[in-house]
Amino acid sequence: MLKYDYLIVGCGLFGSVFAQKQTHQRGKRVLIIEKRNHIGGNCYTEQIEGINVHKYGPHIFHTDNLEVWNYVNRFSSFNNFVNRPKVCYKNKIYSFPVNLMTLYQLYGVKTPSEAKSKLDEVAIPSQNPQNLEDWILSQVGPEIYEIFIKGYTKKQWQKEPADLPASLIKRLPIRLTFNDNYFNDQYQGIPIGGYTKMFENMLKGIEVKLNTDYFAEKSYWDSIAETIVYTGKIDEYFDYKFGPLEYRGLHFENEILEGDYQGNAVINYTQESIPFTRTIEHKHFEFGQQPKTVITREFPASCQKDDIPYYPVNTKANNTQYECYREEAEDKKTLILGGRLGAYKYLDMDDVILSAMNVANNIK
Ligand code: UDP
């Protein structure tokens, strides 16, 4: 008998949830190995000046799934933070996501019906808009596209919006009410005390080896467990045999300042000429009153083989290439792939948790 039932590669959400379920519900023998020097993957938070800093960009937990919500609440309490980002464009602040206040700021419309008439007037109809640009123009017209979407999207994806799938922008609501909640989901919040603490609780009683690179000794790790649960890049797993998949990277610049910098957790900078996409002021995620403040400017970046991948770039061509890898993985009965990178999908945290729960529950 091998030493472990599961060797889990990567200590992010998929790996941690899968490990928690298999260890505590099924009594399986599990080992997690993690390349970085910390748990939590890109959800990781680190305390600086008494503030939980989201080291890999803002993570705001939201879900419509009660089972997922109850599950995460077993490992942390959540506060009632609601994401209400603002947009800064040419030095003016706008309400965002596009809602009745935004439309009032732009056009002076004050009611849902006035707003609807205005959008009908400015929208550029399109029969069956497939790409991001045509879709957003068909909803809100060129001015809103220019102020809120075009520059940010070009910076974020380093592609023309006409070459991107509409699904990217359909993540964002467009509302004719004054509701400026970024998410439509019923449950939302930030783990009180930070994500890292939530992961520590989830991983209680589970063996985790940090600073451990699976690929440095792949055959050894493969030899000690019945099944490998791999949550890293699928193309890397197969040694890039169908070519490297495209990912977007990020680069962060932090500053510690006095007081309150921007009065909000997230402000998006949508002009193309400004190199960062957003500024995060971490203490606002937990309504912090600390004398100092930590702010982060988030810069989109290319993603080379050794960089941390943040976003899959789900164009048609890339998805087709991914399918080759997925088919290859299907043949391996002792391999489970999961998470944003394993699935090459723009999954939110709750999607990842749900898929890990389902995969863990469905194993016979
Ligand atoms: N987006 C935009 N302007 C904004 C915010 C988002 O055009 O001010 C577009 C952009 O293309 C982005 C997508 O909407 O990639 C999804 O945004 P979301 O805030 O969901 O991105 P995440 O927080 O996952 O990076």
What is the whole-number distance in angstroms between the Cα of residue 113 and the centre of ligand 1?
27
Residues 239 and 293 in one domain: no
Asked whether residue 105 falls in the same domain as residue 159, the answer is: yes
Measuring from atom 12 of ligand 1, which residue has the nearest CA? 153
Pocket test for ligand 1, best of 133, 153, 269 (most atoms within 8 A of CB): 153
pLDDT at 364 over 90: no
Mean pLDDT throughout 293-299? 98
* 136 and 31 fall within a common domain: no
**Quick one: average pLDDT of 294-298?**
98
Which ligand 1 atom is nearest residue 148's CA?
Answer: 3
Is residue 179 in some structural domain? Answer: no
Task: Give the chain's domain count.
Answer: 3
Which domain, by its residues, includes 97?
86-170
Give mean pLDDT, residues 266-276: 98
The reply to whether ligand 1 has any atom less than 6 angstroms from the CB of 169 is yes
CATH number at residue 23: 3.40.50.720
Whether 156 lines ligand 1, by a CB cut-off of 6 Å, is yes
71 and 120: one domain?
no
Does 270 sit in the ligand 1 pocket, CB within 6 Å?
A: yes
Whether residue 9 lies inside any domain: the answer is yes
pLDDT digits (tens, 9 = 90+) for 113-163: 999 999 999 999 998 898 999 999 999 999 999 999 999 999 999 999 999
* Ligand 1 centroid, distance to 4 Cα (angstroms): 40
pLDDT score, position 189? 98
User: Ligand 1 test: best mutation among 154, 171, 174, most atoms within 8 Å of CB?
Assistant: 171
Residue 152 CA, ligand 1 centroid: distance in Å: 7
What is the 3-state secondary structure of the chain?
CCCEEEEEECCCHHHHHHHHHHHHCCCCCEEEECCCCCCCHHHCEEEECCEEEECCCCCCEEECCHHHHHHHHCCCCECCCCCCCEEEECCEEEECCCCHHHHHHHHCCCCHHHHHHHHHHHCCCCCCCCEHHHHHHHHHHHHHHHHHHHHHHHHHHCCCHHHCEHHHCCCCCCCCCCCCCCCCCCEEECECCCHHHHHHHHCCCCEEECCCCHHHHHHHHHHCEEEEEECCCHHHHCCCCCCCCCEEEEEEEEEEEECCCCCCCEEEECCCCCCCCEEEEHHHHHCCCCCEEEEEEEEEECCCCCCCCCEECCCHHHHHHHHHHHHHHHCCCCEEECHHHHHCCCCCHHHHHHHHHHHHHHCC
Active site residues: 171, 175, 248, 278, 298, 346, 348
For 223-253, the pLDDT digits (tens) are 999 999 999 999 999 999 999 999 999 999 9
Nearest atom in ligand 1 to 169's CA:
14
Same domain, 241 and 318: yes
Q: Are residues 97 and 76 in the same domain?
A: no
Q: Based on the domain organization, do 196 and 327 belong to the same domain?
A: yes
Inside any domain, residue 307: no
Do residue 198 and residue 165 come from a single domain? no
Cβ of 168 below 6 Å from ligand 1: yes
Residues 166 and 47 in one domain: no
285 Cβ below 6 A of ligand 1: no
What pLDDT score was predicted for residue 314? 95
Give the number of the atom of ligand 1 that is nearest the alpha carbon of residue 182.
19
